[in-house]
Structure 1
């Protein structure tokens, strides 16, 4: 069954590992070979910048990762650059769609020109923060009462004008509530349920409900720290069942966080094992519901977004 995955950090590894090879490098959870094995039909490749990097070097690092996307990912046979979400429906059987996202706006500082340049490079989805504070707002590990900054509203305005999806996965709570009424297109690309695992990177029930009420979508993440203690595949399914019960299964998808995580769930060590998740979901949901989580729900989300 085809899968659309809304988040991986392959680009960070491609720019930090020695002599990486996207096609089949086993150091990559989501290399081309493993994407094929897992029947991943489209993969979002995030641009992630280490917050320890000096501010004046961060934008250059963004450009380096965009270059790696073009020279390594897109130069691999069968990888197709998605610059319009509707292209997802035109991919040939042997092709995999590759989409750029920006995981946090720290690298742009307070410069909208830099944001515009990133969008011009093909970024389709933007997270306003990672876990730390930046000129836009405050990340998931910051004071939950601190909200979106004035510059953040300018960023949201530009993203709306360009029909870019805004990713709330790393926002702190007040930032989430501030963005909610402002954003045209919203998604949580890799978050689970805080009611099941009390981690600030997960969504509370009220956040999940409000996100969906505003037309948003929630993509389940495979990182054990966001699933629960001694996390298993069954524990991951508990998050799916909980979120399905409060927002509807038709608003759920997958966002692995492969290559951005330092531990994995047994049976879900890399993209080649993603079908195992679907097999476990089949024990609790009908085939069409599993197909929805795997890829069809996101396709429907995109079609709705195109009419907004």
Structure 2
């Protein structure tokens, strides 16, 4: 069974990182199949919105230069497609929903190392259109410890200032890569709901990048949004991971009352292994079919589209 008119929102992909490493790749038409997320595949998936992460690979200098280069690639190689609509405001989201065939494109920052603690750089990124930000990747930087940093530190003084400035500007805060202590510090420091753009349940799959039951409950209680991800090692400890395993994470979040705060954050182009039968946007219909076998049509539509777009309409700048 396939539900018509279910447009797809994906809150995390790493296309820009691949374009940064190889600017000859084409998002608009990738004949060599070196990208998971391309315009033809987004159309195939009936996508309505895609977040493009600015992630600077670890071997690259941690300065503003590769961040700005990534944003330049977004403007030149993604927004150059007439179907792609830049999302910066709540008004943009509402207009998107009235444009048949349009696909919203939002910029997020995955790791703020390159800002080097200077909030003027954050304000520049906001002016360029960045509307979500994760303070760390997996390791430590000037603002906080990431989830794989062994000491497990929380937010620094500059990290707390970063949270305050994001709140003031209207940049969504993303907790997906924070250490456990930094997660709790951020929830205490922010005055606005946060997102976990691409994280699953740690109680189902014990990877440190996943969220504990207590974290999921706290994020939901604070009005936040959680994106179930397709990263195989975050989905299941067994190999290969299956779509049925992804469903278990959806079920877990729903058990905590999160059915209206759940979305998807694929991490396509940031992974080199895949859940079986879920290797690019054009295959997301298989997940849709599996969800329709368990949940009402209206709820499945909220998972894929309405929850995320409603959240953006409420929390992006006016």
Name which of 169, 175, 190 aligns with 1:168. 175
State the distance in 2 between where 1:86 and 1:252 align.
Answer: 22
* Cα offset, 1:306, TM superposition: 6.1
State the distance in 2 between where 1:12 and 1:282 align.
Answer: 33
Name which of 216, 219, 223 aligns with 2:224. 216
Give secondary structure in 1 for the equivalent of 2:277: coil
Whether the 8 Å CA contact 1:130–1:171 is kept in 2: the answer is yes
* Cα offset, 1:118, TM superposition: 1.1
Runs of 4+ with >6 A deviation: none
TM-score by length of 2: 0.93
Q: 1:5 and 1:109, CA in 2 relative to 1: closer, same or farther beyond 3 A?
A: same
Give secondary structure in 2 for the equivalent of 1:278: helix
Q: 1:44 and 1:307, CA in 2 relative to 1: closer, same or farther beyond 3 A?
A: closer
Structure 1 portions without partners, runs of 5+: none
State the distance in 1 between where 2:150 and 2:184 align.
Answer: 14
After superposition, the C-alpha distances for 1:121-149 in whole angstroms (9 at most, x for unaligned) are 10010001100100010111113641111
Matched, 1:71 2:76: yes
Matched, 1:226 2:231: no
Matching residue of 2:85: 80
Whether the 8 Å CA contact 1:78–1:94 is kept in 2: the answer is yes
State the distance in 1 between where 2:299 and 2:91 align.
Answer: 22
Matching residue of 1:41: 48
Whether the 8 Å CA contact 1:39–1:275 is kept in 2: the answer is no
* Cα offset, 1:15, TM superposition: 1.6
Q: 1:144 and 1:190, CA in 2 relative to 1: closer, same or farther beyond 3 A?
A: farther
Name which of 99, 116, 136 aligns with 1:129. 136
Matching residue of 1:156: 163
* Cα offset, 1:303, TM superposition: 3.9
Instruction: Map residues 52-201 of structure 1 onto 2, 5 A cutoff.
Output: 52-55=59-62, 58-91=63-96, 92-143=99-150, 145-183=152-190, 184-201=192-209
Matching residue of 2:3: none
TM-score by length of 1: 0.96
State the distance in 2 between where 1:300 and 1:219 align.
Answer: 14
* Cα offset, 1:60, TM superposition: 0.2
Name which of 256, 272, 293 aligns with 2:266. 256
Matching residue of 1:282: 292
Structure 2 portions without partners, runs of 5+: 1-5
* Cα offset, 1:18, TM superposition: 5.4
After superposition, the C-alpha distances for 1:162-216 in whole angstroms (9 at most, x for unaligned) are 1111000000100000000222230000000000000111000000000111111
| Root-mean-square deviation over aligned CA pairs | 1.5
Give secondary structure in 2 for the equivalent of 1:218: strand
Matched, 1:13 2:13: no
Give secondary structure in 1 for the equivalent of 2:244: helix
